[in-house]
Amino acid sequence: MTSNASSPGHESTIVLHIEGMTCNHCRMAVERALLNVPGAKSAKVDLAASTAQVTFDPAKAGRDEMVRAVEEEGYRVSS
């Protein structure tokens, strides 16, 4: 996990390792789910690497919210 800032109003970035994505539809579903988390600024999902890089406002969301969004789409986030 990478964090650029931890105080409210700043942006933080994390990288999630996602299991279960097999196609472009999967990638888009995960990206859409992450972008729908309140406070999410951007999400870049790499299907080949099975990762998602998410930039967000830490005053509004955190890793737990991002993981929940991915898991609600039916994918698993590994540590």
> Of 1 and 34, which is predicted with more confidence?
34
DSSP state of 51: E
31-76 pLDDT per residue, tens? 999 999 999 999 999 999 999 999 999 999 999 999 999 999 999 9
Give the pLDDT score at 5.
41
pLDDT greater than 70 at residue 7: no
Give the pLDDT score at 4.
43
CATH 3.30.230.10 for the 12-78 domain, yes or no: no
Token look-up 């988390």 returns 37
Q: Which amino acid does the sequence have at 15?
A: V
Contacts of 38 (CB under 8 A, 6+ apart): 60, 61, 65
Buried b (16+ CB within 10 A) or exposed e, 67-78: bebbeebebebe
